[in-house]
Chain A
């Protein structure tokens, strides 16, 4: 009498491992998709590297499960055709009676659970639940995997319906495995026969009492050996291999049937992003302004140094048209610069007059001032009144004070920069060593270059000459 009884072959056990692994992985990758909003689901999906990875893994194990189904069909055929096993897995009236016995046992009307054969009614229930569940999952899975193809032959509504079936059946299967399978083979008794392949006599008594009796009565099924069985094997194996190949081809078609969607969707809108409206205004002058009263100056004489220099300075022409910022190339701070906008003897041909009489210049001179300019130009635009043109050695009054007019912006007023006031002859001498231009800061600083309000070379030469001549107040 053997101590342990054989229950599962290596092949059966490998099938179980394939089921165990694929079912678990399908559940782990599938249930989080059903409950995609749950915290745990998101952690699991994250663990797999995101939802697309989860779906790939799900499909890989779905394919493994389908291959296991193909193998299982082949194994059934082997049992029936080659081994010619008796009907041990099909449901029977005996199973119904055993189930009724179990219920009576629960109610206390039977002293012991039913004595059952090779497969109990509980095991058969689970097996057929698995068959049904796999069928539902494979069919609904196909519809979800290939929705374009599905909608070519079925109403589109079948696809969301397939999702409900796939998701509902999955939950049912997982819960059934936890409640039914785990209870019966892990909790009620820890049944290791699916891994070891054998079962102890004690467990056989409890769970398969009828089979044990048959074994001991010598009525147990033993797989046939001998020529007939070998012949059937030689026929069955190639036939089954052929059938398996066809079924595997079916799986291949299943998983590669269609390209459901493009990989990268186009931008939803094709409109030029940057399309500016013609602006009429952000930088354009506003329409209403408050004019500032223009200052007027009495003109003492019609010369540049002794008249217009003050006009240009007092009206702040030199703010823009000065040394620092000779706007439009016009420097009204010097006599020479002013001549750039003047055609001597021709006021109407002189830009200075044209612009001033044009009226749309920022700073507008009074009519008297413009008349003075006209008179000055008509007179040949002399440096000083009564003089035909500039000449003679330079003096402070002419032209040095003019050259330095724009310097007054800093070197002038109540607190002149560096204590140097260039607005008067006396104070300007503080920066001058008469007769020695190089020793005079006034010249040396300018000659070094880079000073704000830098004089040009011509002006510098005049300054040098003036100092070299002893820096006289009046020129020649």
Chain B
């Protein structure tokens, strides 16, 4: 009797194990063709059984364990959140991601702490999301991680794990995701002209990823980023349609590169993108995450503040100095009149002088030839 009842229990237990084994086979089949994995809706027969085996424990509410590190690791799987996630309709097996689970009972917890385990487990994402994973390999978070910083963001830190949903660009959710780790920057950003507009529902303004990139997010303190950044700003600020919507001029990039600072930066960007320069880019004058309209009295480029902004690089600058920068204006009568006059002076004097000289030497060439011919004939 005793033996018999134990046998029945074992039978159920074994069925679950077989299911798990089936799931492992399914995983192998799925990972063999990663391209197919994202689209393939067909569900291997044993797969659901495999997940059910997992859920027989991990479906229990409050299921958790205390790790040797002292951390409490919740072990309950939220079925509904998963069903609602992008992976829900695909019904992928648990072990597709939980690659450290190869059977039951599970091997001892494979990491010294939860974070190390999460970081390791994130490598599984690359199995299906190859291009995204490849894009992250050179990014600033991966570099920090490789340097031993376990705080660096991995896939699930931004996307979530079981509840992963499709992210939508240009939404406050993007900024709020980055906020999890970059709270101080977020606080600055939310008060900026871009951040405030985003939170009030405007979708044309940049969120974090528009400037920093998504999976290939670069270190913004690198010279490459600094030198390239004006072109990021120009993506929007040189778009006449977009700028006219908000009454902003669309020639700010062109006027910047025609100036000494911009000319230099563009040359650096083209010829020596890895070198530091002491010439400012957009963000050096306008601010980075704190950027405000130049009409805002708090802006670094507000007329009363601009000398102080110049003095960051030109400590000896005095009151007249800011006017040496034309403020993104093209010289015109009443707007840098002297510069406008100088431009017109040379626009006229060069063709007149060189034209006159040219005409003179051409005519002289023909006249000299005639003279020589006459002398020869005479």
Contact between A290 and B59, CB atoms less than 8 A apart: yes
Contact between A161 and B342, CB atoms less than 8 A apart: yes
Contact between A286 and B78, CB atoms less than 8 A apart: yes
Residues in A with CB closer than 8 Å to B318 are 148, 151-152
Contact between B270 and A42, CB atoms less than 8 A apart: yes
Residues in A with CB closer than 8 Å to B7 are 423-424
Contact between A157 and B324, CB atoms less than 8 A apart: yes
Which listed residue, B184, B267, B288, B338, touches A275 by the CB 8 Å rule?
B184
Determine the main DSSP class of B at the interface with A.
helix
Interface string of B276-306 (1 = CB under 8 A from A): 1110100110011110000000000000000
Residues in A with CB closer than 8 Å to B1 are 300
Number of chain A residues close to chain B: CB under 8 A? 108
Give the CA-CA distance A179 to B350 in the complex, in Å.
12
Q: Closest chain B residue to A122 by CB distance?
A: B360
Number of chain B residues close to chain A: CB under 8 A? 120
Give the CA-CA distance A45 to B271 in the complex, in Å.
9
Q: Closest chain B residue to A294 by CB distance?
A: B60
Residues A279 and B180 in contact in the complex (CB < 8 Å), given A263-B278, A268-B283, A310-B5: yes
Give the CA-CA distance A285 to B272 in the complex, in Å.
51
Residues in B with CB closer than 8 Å to A300 are 1-2, 5
Answer yes or no: A289 CB below 8 A from chain B CBs: yes
Answer yes or no: A201 CB below 8 A from chain B CBs: no
CB distance from A380 to the nearest CB of B (A): 21
CB distance from A407 to the nearest CB of B (A): 11
Residues A180 and B361 in contact in the complex (CB < 8 Å), given A50-B275, A108-B367, A273-B182: yes
Give the CA-CA distance A45 to B118 in the complex, in Å.
50
How many CB-defined contacts (below 8 Å) exist between A and B? 303
Give the CA-CA distance A185 to B321 in the complex, in Å.
45
Give the CA-CA distance A157 to B275 in the complex, in Å.
31
Contact between A271 and B188, CB atoms less than 8 A apart: yes
Give the CA-CA distance A319 to B240 in the complex, in Å.
66
Contact between A269 and B10, CB atoms less than 8 A apart: no
Give the CA-CA distance A57 to B284 in the complex, in Å.
28
Interface string of A139-158 (1 = CB under 8 A from B): 00000000110111011111
* Residue among B73, B276, B317, B331 with max Cβ neighbours from chain A (10 Å): B317
Listed in ascending order, the chain B residues whose CB lies under 8 Å from chain A are 1-3, 5-7, 9-14, 17-18, 55-57, 59-66, 73-81, 103-108, 114, 118, 151, 156-157, 160-163, 179-185, 188, 221, 257, 259-260, 263-264, 266-268, 270-272, 275-278, 280, 283-284, 287-290, 312-318, 320-326, 331, 336-339, 341-343, 345-346, 349-350, 353-354, 357-358, 360-361, 363-365, 367-368, 370-371, 374
5 A-B pairs with the lowest CB-CB distances in the bound complex, closest first = A156-B323, A168-B346, A286-B78, A413-B14, A362-B63
